[in-house]
Chain A
């Protein structure tokens, strides 16, 4: 790109309309181009003006209550332990999820430690999404890479008969060692949905891949959310996803180190930032990771 072409990017620079590479190139150019420096200084105040280009709209009823509750939940989750009160349908979801597991927390002290799900409807969220997100923030780019990798891997797995038999899974699998393949069970409300989960042991650690089909479309801020559950403890979110227009999706995530889980559950959540399941259960499966 010659000097004149780079100069032609300045209006887009002001509007934040350049790609990262274009912006870097323009900023290098800007250090030496007096004309661009002058123009940019004149145009920059437009950015603040444009922020006021909106029509007045009336917030929905009860928005304050919802927003502040979610804000405080997020803040509490980021800053430390907080006890939250669950609604009755969340409790039912949790009961449904945890009831498939053997009871490993039968004594009272363990129940206190893991939360009074049954009698108090309260659970700690210290192992919820906020802490998890901080702890595993470095997973994000790896997960993105894994998603790309698994697209070919899932196709390979589903189309190659050798992978239909778990005993034949070997280290030669391009995904690492596939240790478990599970067909998830759909709940009655979502009986057209199916999900096939694969557990892989690779160099980055344990990974969970799920291939979905027949997913109902999402509306507004709805997302599907994947949870791992250990008996008696609050679910740990592995992330959210939305299906394509054919109701298909592929989800991939690393599994937290040094932790064991017995169940994987997928819920349809009203929004992406919830720290505990709030929407209905869609799929469920027993795993051993």
Chain B
């Protein structure tokens, strides 16, 4: 039964052009990828498009996935991040330029999660706890640059700060993030 295959098995089947395996993988990771895409872009349609592009890329790159190198969730989210940045660059004028946290106003997590989500949710909670302890501007800079692909110059213009200040706030933010994650068990990397 394809439904009971491990993630690694599914990817092998997808590499061999098995569409049933693709659908099982889709069912397992649709919500993860959509949630990530909604964080990266403030638009339902674009988020759906990002998920779509991720699965097109997965079909083409399934043979390159090595479960010894990264968890499947990390691999998928890495593809999703690059895809989201590509979309954002293509549609820069459609992206909100405001600095409020509208992007984060998403549906509450009120549904029961399947067993496979336990680890993802734990990782998510850990990083969000660490990020929430940062001053707001440091968190914003890190998220916007990493998730939306903005440059230091674009962030400096957006926040009306000198580039040197942008750099130093990112440096401080990442250093604090590293310390906080180290305190929670750095060895448990995604």
A residues lining the B interface (CB < 8 Å): 8-9, 11-12, 14-19, 42-43, 45-60, 63-64, 66-68, 70-72, 74-75, 78, 220-221, 242, 244-245, 270-273
Task: Verify if B97 is at the interface (C-beta below 8 Å from A).
Answer: no
**With A12-B170, A48-B74, A67-B55 in contact, do A53 and B143 touch (Cβ < 8 Å)?**
yes
Task: Verify if B7 is at the interface (C-beta below 8 Å from A).
Answer: no
Of residues 52 through 67 on chain B, the ones whose CB sits less than 8 Å from some CB of chain A are 52-53, 55-56, 59-60
**With A15-B145, A49-B189 in contact, do A68 and B44 touch (Cβ < 8 Å)?**
no
Which chain B residue lies CB-closest to A48?
B190
Of residues 73 through 119 on chain B, the ones whose CB sits less than 8 Å from some CB of chain A are 74, 77-78, 81, 91, 93-94, 104, 106-109, 111
A to B contact number (C-beta, < 8 Å): 167
Q: How far is the CB of A24 from chain B (nearest CB, A)?
A: 15
Majority secondary structure of chain B interface residues (helix, strand, loop or mixed): helix
Assembly CA distance A9 to B174 (angstroms): 13
Assembly CA distance A260 to B84 (angstroms): 37
Assembly CA distance A47 to B178 (angstroms): 11
Assembly CA distance A259 to B157 (angstroms): 47
Assembly CA distance A220 to B47 (angstroms): 10
Majority secondary structure of chain A interface residues (helix, strand, loop or mixed): loop
Interface size for chain B: under 10, 10 to 19, 20 to 34, or 35 or more residues?
35 or more
Whether B152 and A12, one on each chain, are in contact in the complex, defined by CB atoms closer than 8 angstroms, is yes
Chain A residues positioned under 8 Å from B70 (CB to CB): 48
Chain B residues positioned under 8 Å from A58 (CB to CB): 31, 34, 107, 111
Whether B81 and A53, one on each chain, are in contact in the complex, defined by CB atoms closer than 8 angstroms, is no
Assembly CA distance A52 to B104 (angstroms): 13
Most buried by B among A42, A47, A53, A72: A53
Chain A residues positioned under 8 Å from B31 (CB to CB): 56-59
Whether A221 and B74, one on each chain, are in contact in the complex, defined by CB atoms closer than 8 angstroms, is no
Task: Verify if B15 is at the interface (C-beta below 8 Å from A).
Answer: no
**With A16-B146, A52-B190, A56-B109 in contact, do A221 and B128 touch (Cβ < 8 Å)?**
no
Choose one: A19, A242, A245; the contact of B91 (CB below 8 Å).
Answer: A242
Whether B178 and A42, one on each chain, are in contact in the complex, defined by CB atoms closer than 8 angstroms, is yes
Q: How far is the CB of A33 from chain B (nearest CB, A)?
A: 16
Choose one: B47, B104, B123; the contact of A49 (CB below 8 Å).
Answer: B123
Chain B residues positioned under 8 Å from A19 (CB to CB): 151
Choose one: B26, B35, B39, B128; the contact of A68 (CB below 8 Å).
Answer: B26
